[in-house]
Structure 1
Amino acid sequence: MRSVETISSGCVGVGFKPEHAVDILAFSGCVSALEVHAENYMSAGGARLNQLESIRRDYRLLIHGVGLSIGGSEAIDREHLARVKRVVDRFEPAIFSEHLAWSAHAGRYFGDLFPLPYTPETLDRVTANIHQVQDALQRRILLENPATYVEFEGSCFTEIEFIAQIVERTDCGLLLDVSNVFVSACNHGFEPEEYIDAFPISSVEEVHLAGYAELTDLGGEPLLIDAHNSKVAGRVWALYERVLARRGPVQTVIEWDNDIPAWDTLLSEAVRAESLLLANAHGASVTPS
């Protein structure tokens, strides 16, 4: 039996997958927002764009970029940025976000988001790239913290110090991916609660929650991968509550990009997020960062 649960807070959404289009259109308003990847909607026309036009009439639309390579060592690809701008101008999303990572080099685009050394040189480059993107799009963007699997010996800043400097220099907002925090914490041996407590929370305008894959590295140590292929883990839900205690109600998106589940399963994750959000809403307020 199909679920008819709905999201009433106005703050919880899911990543849109065409496999769920029939259910989403059948149960209009079952979630408050849908998020799509910009790169999936760069064609000049066709059924995919028409479908998104239909969906955005009933849902708050969020667009998430994966290909601008804001942390890359080369200049932003102007043609790709122009394509992103066409998507943003056409669909007028409530939020546009991108990653603190690089994903392209020498004209090649990769299927992964790679980490950066946190150095003054990298900070200058990322800052300049964000200014370029915000000027082109004529809007404030959100920057997402990465899931990482290596750290650089040459880094001069912690990740949080680096992100705080970016916000100060560019006035961009932040997308706090709570699952990424947990993945990185397990991979690098730091406490995710301490990361959440130190994060510049007043700049957070969106939160991501997703599942991860559990592997082992060549030394037999646990290795978590930001796979977006399963339900949100218990420790991640607990970190989300910690975020809400500091930030209060905030746009939240459940990501599930691989091993796509039935709609009821994805919706149940969104409903759980809303229950935690509502439980923390009374008396919660933004804590100055």
Structure 2
Amino acid sequence: MEGHVKAVKDDYLGFGLGLRTDHFEEVLQGSPKVDWFEVISENFMVAGGKPRYYLQQVRERYPIVMHGVSMSLGSTDPLDMNYLKQLKALTDEIQPAWISDHLCWSQLGGINSHDLLPMPYTEEALKHIVSNIKQAQDFLGRQMLIENVSSYISYRESAMTEWEFYSAVVEEADCLMLLDINNIYVSARNHHFDAEQYLASINPQRVRQMHLAGHSDYGDYIIDTHDHPVVDSVWQLYAKAIQRFGPVSTMIERDDDIPALSELIGELDQARRISAEALTGLSVGSLVNG
């Protein structure tokens, strides 16, 4: 840092949480200290019913962003136009601040793996996923955010690093980044690369949102499980990301072993503190341990 706070971008939302069914009633009955909520798009791509009712009610009180897990942008299968039509209908109704999906593939030959599988980092794969992102953006009439995934395998054919591939995708597709800090940490540990080098390679102008989450550490490898609090090493990497990128809309994901809303808000307050102090130029160690 250079001793001054970086400017807040016009699209900055602050600090959010993933909206989960466990907390629907509490969110509506109170006014939790949350700036915005992220929803999993597929959970609400239904006509009417309780999920849609709750989403509409929350949308009246808070900004919403939509996060998809099924677009399978990297698959060699054609994009699922029925899926895109349902997604567009929900987007047009809810008018989220933005929508996102993943830098991955999840289905092949019409069979869905129900997992977010990494891409081979090749020129051929780059051109393919860029084409699909452009097609999706044109159909939806919106610029998308694309998220980096955690990975547990690598491809012999890869000709570039993940961060080189990711950066090239967003530039060529003219999309934005949902930078998952926990996923960077997980993949860096699993594949033995430098997470800070990853951050240093990213164009700050492309980063619109960050994810934070917990993982399961098995020693020789770690898995992105979203069932634990954020660990100190990920907080440290988050502080370094804020020092590089400035204020970025940040949310915490929790998808299993979901605690009380108050506990998640406490964790979100930690993100607020670390972000604010990172912007003042404090050392990373003092941010997490202070």
TM score, norm. by length of structure 1: 0.90
Alignment deviations for residues 202-224 of structure 1 (CA, whole Å, 9 cap, x no partner): 210000000001236xxxxx111
Letter matched to residue 234 of structure 2: V
In structure 1, what is the equivalent of residue 269 of structure 2?
271
Q: Residues 16 and 36 of structure 1 are in contact (CA less than 8 Å); yes or no, is this contact kept in structure 2?
A: yes
Further displaced range: 108-117 or 42-51: 108-117
Matching residue within 225, 228, 249 for 2:247: 249
Preserved contact between residue 98 and residue 145 of structure 2 (Cα < 8 Å): yes
Deviation at 1:201, TM superposition (A): 2.5
Alignment of 1:211-222 (within 5 A): 211-215=214-218, 222=220
Q: Which residue of 2 aligns with 1:200?
A: 203
Gaps of 5+ in 2: 1-11, 283-290
Match status 1:103 vs 2:106: yes
Describe the SS at the equivalent of 1:150. coil
Pair 133,264 (structure 1): closer, same or farther in 2 beyond 3 Å: same
Distance between the aligned counterparts of 2:171 and 2:198, measured in 1?
Answer: 19
- Alpha-carbon distance in structure 2 between the residues aligned to 1:132 and 1:10: 27
Task: Report the alpha carbon displacement of residue 196 of structure 1 after superposing the two structures with TM.
Answer: 1.5
The match for 1:127 among 127, 130, 133 is 130
1:230 to 224, 228, 231: 228
Mapped to 2, the partners of 1:110 and 1:82 lie a distance apart of: 22
Q: Which amino acid aligns with 2:120?
A: P
What is the aligned-residue RMSD (CA, Å)?
A: 1.6
| Cα distance in 2 for residues equivalent to 1:96 and 1:109 | 22
Q: Which runs of 4+ in 1 moved over 6 A?
A: none
Shift of 1:282: 4.6
Q: Where do residues 1-289 of structure 1 align in structure 2 (5 Å cutoff)?
A: 10-215=13-218, 222-282=220-280
How many residue pairs get aligned? The number is 271
Task: Provide the C-alpha distance between the structure 2 equivalents of 1:282 and 1:133, rounded to a whole number of angstroms.
Answer: 39
1: CA distance, partners of 2:182 / 2:216? 11
Relative distance call for 1:24 and 1:179 in structure 2 (3 A) is same
Residue 200 of structure 2 aligns to which amino acid in structure 1?
D
**Counterpart secondary structure, 2:120:** coil
TM-score (norm 2): 0.90
SS in structure 1 at match of 2:185:
helix
Structure 1 CA distance, aligned partners of 2:205 and 2:237?
A: 17
Q: After alignment, is 59-68 or 165-174 more displaced?
A: 165-174
What is the DSSP-based 3-state SS (H/G/I as helix, E as strand, rest coil) of the residue aligned with 1:63?
strand
What's the offset of the Cα at 1:283?
7.6
Q: Is the 8 A contact 2:240 2:278 kept in 1?
A: no
2:51 & 2:234 partners in 1: Cα distance? 33
Give the Å deviation of 1:178. Answer: 0.2
Give the deviation of 1:181 after TM superposition.
0.4
Q: Percent identity?
A: 38
Distance verdict in 2 for CA 1:281–1:164, change over 3 Å: same
CA contact (8 A) 1:39 1:66 kept: yes
